[in-house]
Amino acid sequence: MKFIKHLILALLALLLSGLQPLAARETLADGSIARIHQSELPPEARDTLRLIERGGPFPYRKDGVVFQNRERRLPAQARAYYREYTVPTPGSRDRGARRIVTGEAREYYYSADHYRSFKRIIQP
């Protein structure tokens, strides 16, 4: 009985430690950035991608400004390599937390939490 109690406590501690399934992690074990297929993005993010690919017009004044990567969540690059765009958040009275960041090599990253984490967008 004591063994079962310790086993349950150990399992509970493991669950509460914040372990997440691999698919839910933003940064993979090897340090690479998690990926998300374009079709898995919220519809507003897909709309923002289309605007980026068309060159606008963008609904927010700050869309297209340099993203400085201060948090160092994206691969290190020269200043002005990255640009950021707002992904509208339904019900939000401001720009909200969601962004798409683009790189000069036409790579795209999605952040749902205002740059705390990113997923590289895989396009068809």
Q: If you average pLDDT over residues 94-110, what whole number do you get?
A: 96
Give domain status of residue 80, yes or no: yes
Q: Are 36 and 119 in contact (CB under 8 A)?
A: yes
Q: Inform me whether the pLDDT recorded for 28 exceeds 70.
A: no
| Site of tokens 């399992």 | 11
Give domain status of residue 117, yes or no: yes
Give domain status of residue 19, yes or no: no
Q: Which long-range contacts (CB under 8 A, 24 or more apart) does 19-26 make?
A: 26/117, 26/118, 26/119
Cα distance between the two ends of the chain: 54
Instruction: At 69, list the tokens.
Output: 């990567």
pLDDT, position 124: 85
Vertex 95 angle, CA 91 and 100, to 5°: 110
Query: Is 84 one of the catalytic residues?
Result: yes
Q: Model confidence at 24, in pLDDT bands (50, 70, 90)? A: very low
Q: Which domain holds residue 60?
A: 24-122
Catalytic option among 53, 84, 104, 107: 84
Query: Is 6 one of the catalytic residues?
Result: no
All residues at 6 or more sequence positions from 9 whose CB lies less than 8 Å from its CB, including other chains:
none
Instruction: Return mean pLDDT, the chain.
Output: 84
The CATH number linked to 107 is 3.10.450.30
Catalytic option among 37, 40, 71, 114: 114
Give domain status of residue 93, yes or no: yes
Q: Inform me whether the pLDDT recorded for 7 exceeds 60.
A: no
| Site of tokens 């340090």 | 31
